[in-house]
A and B are shown apart, each in its own frame.
Chain A
């Protein structure tokens, strides 16, 4: 008889919530024009895009909206011609309210899902030892104030309280007589705090022979956040009994999830022809600080369960967003836009749950203003990406094809107590 000490592999968690992990669908109007809203701020979603822009709004503003994300992701590997993700649709929501106190102060509250991701595969798929299912959902609650510091400039700041819930499943490569592999399921909840600050300016407004041209611009910064999963629950399922001391039925874990900061700057150049219609061009640049997302570590309470640390090595990236909006004031608005998103994931770190790549996406939107003070907006995003990617740390490579359609709808209500608002060339 030989006795041997067996030291085992670790439960490496190679999780990558890629660029799509940040849901850039926090307002249907913004989505229609490629997401370039930081310098525009014409509805209550300014609360998210640029708190300083609240001063650009009417006395009372309310928006409630949702998007339906319909993804389709396929992979081709050395072994299989085609593997489909089984990810279902996601429906992040957003709610914003802002009000005005006297001439120079505005306040508001926003609730949204800034970050979120879900990916699912068949339990027995080729990459099951990397991931079977993963989901992250965040809720951000943001009370906000804005103040007019100058005739043309206002600033705003919000406190962001975030709750996050996380779940992750992967197979454990331990066989017994009747089982080919086991499963690890990690679930946890946590919270985080952050802030959102911005500055907004009505740079100029000028009458020319054929109408009025104006320029608005803004800068905003949303801080990074650290969600602490304090009392996460780890379950190990279908593990051979002789390996139970290492992978118990249940143990707890702690982990931290870093959410990146986002710095944005943008403008809106508008041309208004009389009272009846206007057209504007919008642009914005974002810098997302994904490099904070460098490691993801799990620390298990059960001492024999190997703790893990995974290097993500993501890059900080820029995204460019632009769009055009035509508004026929009494009736409707039509929007079209695009954005170019650089992926934060370097070569060699492309993980199957979110095979992100640099990509140009197209957006469109339409708004209706038939009934007084009420508006309905629809938006649409089309993302198509293909990437030949490798996750070298896990020895997995594939060709990925990803197509995503995102449909959005929101209802808005805006009311002005005073009849005329000087700095509102856009129409709600």
Chain B
């Protein structure tokens, strides 16, 4: 029996030795800001930066708190724990009012803020945001690059800009001064921000506003100046100069940062939901030059045209959709071409000043055909695509989380930082009615 004891002993030693070896855990990866200084991160941009979605600025279910800069700032804190709080001008509850999905008579319908049963603006909205607070998120919905910087040699420009941004309710958290006497530009706010790091995602509206006007002019009366078209395509040379002014200011402040390109606006759901395939009948449109014809595949009809179609407009040659509801194929081609031009300017500028380039144009493109991520299908399709909000222009929280990751990747690559990406699955997509 001595021998068997030896065998048992050997077997026990072997088994116990191997028992302890079931550890498979991975070590934590290093967290470092790399060469970037995230101490005072300032987000510069438009609605996409502000956290606008569902055609409104709202924070009822933390939508604005999950703006892409807020997500990004939260992740920056993981690599730089000592950075300060990221302050945003948060709307209360419904904020500006916004679109939502409702179930009416067993069918899902999209309700606008001012529809019966819609989520209208919050009582606090007219006095929203304290101008004396210093905000990290300077995103102003609707703002164009051209509104941010006075045009050189155009003495009216700073007053026009002042008027345009002052009219804009989404800019109420910033003090733009008094017309003519003391015009404070958006660029002035950038200069006084004290940014050590920035993200700059400007330029979308220099294209988008023209596109969502169906490629038409939108003249408004500005006191003392006259009728001004507030939705023209910003010309390339103007764009180049103004973009350069913004980056010059940031560069002089010694800030690090990242500049984003403009996604292909013609690929968003706003322009790709209403078509013959969806309606089941040919749609009559008016081209920008007045020609009436049946819409072709390359003509982009606005989402809002569904209201016209419901009333019969657009169903016959005698009652075509107005040109404001259509970005016809020639206009769409102009928009695409101009996107490429402006993006080239952004790329060159970022390179010139040594900032990171965030290519949101490249990022969005595969979503046109669909992208699968962690078992979820995403695409640019309206509602079912899962990344755009109900306005068909802006991302929903999931989409903003994915956007934050695009910034994180570019910043990490450029500055050698290791900011962890966020998991899109942790953010809500379209909110379905219960």
Contacts and interface: CB of A to CB of B under 8 A. Distances in A.
Interface of A: 1-9, 12, 14, 70, 72-76, 78-82, 84, 124, 126-131, 170-171, 173-178, 180-181, 240-243, 331-332, 334, 364, 366, 368, 370, 378, 380, 382, 393-396, 399, 401-403, 405, 407
Q: How large is the interface on B (under 10, 10 to 19, 20 to 34, 35 or more residues)?
A: 35 or more
A37 to B, nearest CB: 21
Contacts of B220: none
Contacts of A74: 24-26
Contact of B21 (A7, A12, A332, A403): A403
Interface string B398-429: 00000000000000000000001111011011
A241 B106 CA distance: 10
B22 A81 contact: no
A23 to B, nearest CB: 19
Interface string B376-404: 11000011101000000000000000000
A1 to B, nearest CB: 5
Nearest to B1: A370
B430 interface: yes
Contacts of B428: 175, 180
A399 B26 contact: yes
Nearest to B14: A364
B431 interface: yes
Interface in B273-311: 273, 278, 303, 306-307
Nearest to B115: A1
B333 to A, nearest CB: 27
Contacts of B192: none
A124 B425 CA distance: 9
Given A74-B26, A407-B15, A173 B429 contact: yes
Given A241-B433, A366-B11, A395-B373, A2 B384 contact: no
B7 A1 contact: no
Given A170-B375, A394-B375, A405-B19, A370 B4 contact: yes
Contacts of B23: 72, 403
A171 B429 CA distance: 14
B234 to A, nearest CB: 30
B32 to A, nearest CB: 14
Contact of A4 (B110, B376, B420, B429): B110
Contact of B425 (A75, A181, A240): A181
A177 B430 CA distance: 10
A170 B28 CA distance: 27
B26 to A, nearest CB: 4
A240 B377 CA distance: 19
B315 to A, nearest CB: 16
A78 B103 CA distance: 38
B14 A380 contact: yes
B421 A243 contact: no
Contact of B432 (A128, A243, A402): A243
Nearest to B385: A9
The 10 A-B pairs at the shortest CB distance, nearest first, are namely A129-B375, A240-B432, A130-B375, A395-B372, A74-B24, A242-B103, A401-B24, A175-B428, A72-B22, A395-B373
